[in-house]
Amino acid sequence: MVAHGRRTLLAVSGGVDSMVMLRLFVESGYDIAVAHCNFRLRGEESDGDERLVESECRRLGVELFVKCFDVHGEMAASGDSLQASARALRYAWFEKLCCEHGFAVVAVAHNADDSTETFFINLLRGTGLKGLTGIPLTRDRIIRPLLFATREMIAHYAAREGVSFREDSSNRTTKYLRNRLRHTVLPRLCEIEPEFPRIMTANLGRLAATERFVERSLDIVHAQVTRCDKQRGTVTVDTAAIDPSLPLDFVLFGLLGRYGFGADVVEQLVRALADGATGRRFHAPARVAWIDRRRIVMSERTEHDDNGHASGHWTAIDLKELVIEEFTPTVEWGGVTLCFELVPAGSLEDLRQPPSVALLDADKVHFPLVIRRWHEGDAFVPLGMKGRKKLSDLMIDTKASMLDKLYQGVLLSGGEIAWVIGRRSAEDFRITQNTKTVLKVCLKSGHQNSYVPLP
């Protein structure tokens, strides 16, 4: 967990676990210091813990850092529970000490019984596989060197070696779920099966190994079925590409959980997917997801409302209206580049062009031009047709995805649509035998060409 010669910060409360951990580190010859948090929640008892830790560190010649915290103030500011607020204050201070004094890791004194209790707490509250693995041995800068030992083993060591410690009176109350498990459920399990602590430790080890295997497998599935679009700020999961022999709900729970979506939300999403729903939005703290033809699209929750058209949708790309006052070779809009070129009509050998290119009669185009996102109710006469067509109908006909609809832009001249960008030019701007100069517009980086399906 930490090499000799690298400094370790020990979180020592004064209880038996952390005082034994301190003794073991000293006897093993590690370069250590101690951090003690006084939350002042138990009056004189809290101050007594601080005095014991201070006395032991002085006796052992170990550097000590002490800090008192206003937990109730943190609770009022954050809205979190007492336990969560104390934890946030404690670990933020530990991180600060590491940065200021060069500690490589922070050692905390969780034991095997703590890990078992965490298993049952998560089991009762509902959890995935990760929640059934107990307390991890390491996480970021935190290490837990006593996870191999039961609470009974630690108590026996303290008694044999004369390790001083103080009992936290709050550990005896059954107010908290952890304590109820500790004092009622787990002792009964040990009566039924005396080897329960050893068996449970082995079970947690196997579950942790299984979880690592599953995570690695999900990495492979993630690489196969997701596409990250950095310009749009979206991640798309193609559920049709997931092996049908795999449990879809479990796979999606593993994939979407990486983006902050909880189990309840994923369950709702899976049901909507099974019902063939399209367009419904599902929210995580920092992201929103929606279903689009068996694809799940996720984006950051940065609200963008363009004339009411996309209210409630979310996009990281600026799609504000762009006015082009005069001819210019290139413009940037919506994460794409549009290139403009004036070409003599006689030089064009083939008028057939891909959707990413528009050929417009330059004499029919009048500056300023405008590029904006399409609006509900927009209509134009598509090239080769006589009647006007709503853009919403064009989107349906061309099987545009919801994401394509969200980012679809139009090029206007004189207030009329000259080109539905990357999709169809307008009949009113078509090239004829009388055309002398052609305005050629090319979409160089194309999110908006919905003729090319998202992978």
Helix/strand/coil (H/E/C) assignment for every residue in 230-274: CCCCEEEEEHHHCCCCCCHHHHHHHHHHCCCCCHHHHHHHHHHHH
Residue type, 240: A
Per the CB < 8 A criterion, the answer to whether 447 and 229 are in contact is yes
- Domain 322-443 indexed as CATH 2.40.50.100: no
- Which parts of the chain register pLDDT below 70? 231, 302-318, 403, 445-455
Give the number of other CB atoms < 10 A from CB of residue 347: 7
What does the CA dihedral 290, 295, 296, 302 come to, rounded to 10 degrees? -60
Q: Give Cβ neighbours of residue 92 (< 8 Å, ≥ 6 apart).
A: none
pLDDT of residue 26: 96
Specify the domain boundaries for CATH 3.40.50.620 within the chain.
8-206
pLDDT at 318: 62
Closest CA to 163 of 346, 51, 16, 372: 16
pLDDT, tens digit, 9 for 90 and up, residues 365-384: 999 999 999 988 999 999 98
- pTM for this model (two decimals): 0.66
pLDDT at position 152 is 94
How confident is the model at residue 410, as a pLDDT?
A: 94
pLDDT of 350 reads 78
Give the per-residue pLDDT at 404. Answer: 77
* Residue limits of CATH 3.50.40.10 in the chain: 322-443
Of 400, 406, 432, 420, nearest in space to 357 by CA: 420
In angstroms, what CA-CA distances link 318 with 233, 302, 406? 11, 11, 12
CATH topology (fold) of 8-206: Rossmann fold (3.40.50)
Which tokens sit at 213?
């295997």
Q: Give the per-residue pLDDT at 448.
A: 42
- ∠ Cα 383 392 319 (to 5°): 95
pLDDT at 406: 76
User: How much is the pLDDT for 445?
Assistant: 60
Q: Which two tokens stand for residue 389?
A: 């067509």
* Sequence-distant (≥ 6) Cβ neighbours of residue 90 within 8 angstroms: 11, 37, 69
